[in-house]
Structure 1
């Protein structure tokens, strides 16, 4: 790739190292993902900046005041010939060889975003990182076995307040337009070929008379798949969410949850929620998953249905399924997550402040 004039000049100039953390936030959804860690870093007095990429990022005045952070375009940092001591990202962003990330920081740490889609999540581009903040033992073992990378098992910071706050259920019903007399189903589908949107629309529409049905789409679906969004708008849903709202109120709201592939089902395991997995044909052959993907493997443990089964209602009403479900969640949570329910953000913040685990190869 041909270097720009600015990049060539920057390479010839002394680089100023900024001795604080930075987080490269390229989509709005990542603010929800990192926010509990930002809170923990602020409480610890640790300075950090938020770097934006191409998409505009909204940070409220209250958030900025609480976090005390700068918000800067990443290109400006590079143009000024500056680097951070440590940069946190959820993946390689745009350049698989790590050129962008290495131009921004001396140390690069990956902060996992989701636990599914293993062909993507465990791909060789992870070697651009100095270490991985992962959810728990399953991924820590995988990163060490494949690439010898240092790991820190943090739990799931995004879910801390699920365990530390008592939800105001009347306020949640009102916020999402739900009838308190009905039980609530929350459907969190992924996008692209692994999405259950379209395959299960009619079956889920038929549930709307008896349940509140709230759907939040993958954050990239509204821009990339307008036809799928249009198909959902045509359903008699209680609420369709197309924006980057935090998922945690939806987990608090739900009596039952529906997932296809990717990370949301693992959040339900961590939180001990009742859920059904929706199958998409040829999912194990998808380039993002593969037959050994963790979200494929969940189907050996939890109830799952195909579109031709028309089986969602039957599973929802099957008491035997739910009698065994809680123990399965506890077992799988121990496999995929460190046991830091309610304190995971503190563990993540500690790992970012004291990065000695990068050289030790294990969590401090």
Structure 2
């Protein structure tokens, strides 16, 4: 059995193309936790609410969803050890640390963000337990390889249907009916938490509704754990607000220009050569990945791949000036970031998953030894060694309090 671990609807779209080609595959919802209420962002969904919402979503997609009994990391781990051949994940979750004789394959859902740089690590603490990382392009794969991880570029499976010109009209028409055909359409894709531009730019974006259709696709974390922002958006009748369950491809098809901030959506817009503007709310905007990559490939280039801005009052004129300007990369940078755009990423991923001779499972001992070898802090090294002994001896997940400490420690595992 090949198991896709799905935390949110977005992961379904990440796995969709591979699931289509991979036989004997199913979806599994891992143990979920209640989203904590915060003063800044408001309340979030309960674990029960998230599970019911996601289960209903997957049921509507007509895929097989496995019930592994009590929804705990221990029960899930036992089930996977007994039944799974491959476990396909998008990121770390409590339960994979003690899998044996099961390959754990990670599909990245953005680019490796300066993964080897001290300024920003792309979830590197989550990856040492993986047998294989499959990335969009060589750029990301090489960054993971530099950490001693096994990685291969495969392309972006989310957009296979786009490049195969296989978008469903049934997905496009419901949104198209809500649009004024006399207006251009803005697609706004805000990130979440402090990366989001919602608080700073929402009023300005709303003011554009006389001249533009405005479609907002929510980040899944805003949808399930940022009630304050969700209420602001839903109380704006000028906007067409869509939940995280919606397929992003029809939205890109309908968009004349895309607004992004400090999230991975910027790479999707560039990949599809859509006019795009970055609402650059980051105080360290010069460290944003796409600018870093541009400068690395073209240190003398003056042209900016995408227009960026820090002042909401500039937005209207920037949209007017850029709505017909496609985001384009030269061939070398496009290949490095996105590899092949032939609509066959899902097939390539399936071939890797099925090729357990060339890419066999790495024994659990070796995974921990690989991590320990790269620890630069003596205390962290000792702690990981103790963790290894505890997990291999008990073969069960650690208490959540200790697991939190593990995640903090593992952030220091790999040399920059």
The structure 1 residue matched to 2:289, chosen from 289, 294, 319, is 294
Retained in 2: the 8 A contact 1:26–1:93? no
1:20-39 superposed matches below 5 A: 20-39=1-20
Retained in 1: the 8 A contact 2:191–2:263? yes
1:63 deviates by 2.6
Task: Name the counterpart of 1:48.
Answer: 25
CA-to-aligned-CA distance 1:324-347 (integer Å, 9 cap, x gap): x44337664322111133111111
Local SS of the residue matching 1:227: helix
Q: Give distance in 2, aligned partners of 1:248 and 1:120.
A: 28
Q: Give the root-mean-square deviation of aligned CA atoms.
A: 2.9
Structure 2 CA distance for partners of 1:70 and 1:105, relative to 1, 3 Å: farther
- Which ranges of 4 or more aligned residues in structure 1 deviate by more than 6 Å? 168-171
Contiguous gaps of at least 5 residues in structure 2: 33-49, 115-119, 295-303, 363-416
Q: Give distance in 2, aligned partners of 1:329 and 1:310.
A: 31
Structure 2 CA distance for partners of 1:78 and 1:36, relative to 1, 3 Å: same
Task: Name the counterpart of 2:338.
Answer: 337
CA-to-aligned-CA distance 1:302-332 (integer Å, 9 cap, x gap): 11111x252222222226x855x44337664
1:234 deviates by 3.2
1:215-294 superposed matches below 5 A: 215-283=216-284, 292-294=287-289
Q: Give distance in 1, aligned partners of 2:101 and 2:208.
A: 50
Retained in 2: the 8 A contact 1:194–1:261? yes
The structure 2 residue matched to 1:107, chosen from 69, 83, 103, is 103
CA-to-aligned-CA distance 1:171-228 (integer Å, 9 cap, x gap): 7364351111211110010100010001111211121111110001111112321111
Local SS of the residue matching 1:311: helix
Retained in 1: the 8 A contact 2:103–2:361? no
Using the TM superposition, name which of 199-208 and 294-303 deviates more.
294-303
Q: Give distance in 2, aligned partners of 1:72 and 1:178.
A: 40
Structure 2 CA distance for partners of 1:61 and 1:28, relative to 1, 3 Å: closer
CA-to-aligned-CA distance 1:234-288 (integer Å, 9 cap, x gap): 334341113421111111111100101221111111111111011114255xxxx
Retained in 1: the 8 A contact 2:233–2:239? no
1:111-190 superposed matches below 5 A: 111-115=107-111, 118=114, 119-145=120-146, 147-165=147-165, 172=172, 174-176=174-176, 177-190=178-191
Retained in 2: the 8 A contact 1:83–1:105? no
Retained in 1: the 8 A contact 2:183–2:213? yes
**Of Structure 1 and Structure 2, which has the larger fraction of its residues in strand?**
1
Using the TM superposition, name which of 147-156 and 48-57 deviates more.
48-57
Structure 2 CA distance for partners of 1:172 and 1:107, relative to 1, 3 Å: closer
Q: Give distance in 2, aligned partners of 1:61 and 1:217.
A: 20
Local SS of the residue matching 1:87: strand
Using the TM superposition, name which of 202-211 and 167-176 deviates more.
167-176
Q: How many residues align?
A: 320
Task: Name the counterpart of 1:287.
Answer: none
Task: Name the counterpart of 2:196.
Answer: 195
Using the TM superposition, name which of 235-244 and 249-258 deviates more.
235-244
Contiguous gaps of at least 5 residues in structure 1: 1-19, 285-290
Q: Give distance in 2, aligned partners of 1:61 and 1:199.
A: 36
Q: Give distance in 1, aligned partners of 2:346 and 2:89.
A: 16
Structure 2 CA distance for partners of 1:105 and 1:333, relative to 1, 3 Å: farther
Task: Name the counterpart of 2:37.
Answer: none
Local SS of the residue matching 2:98: helix
Q: Are residues 1:88 and 2:83 paired? A: no
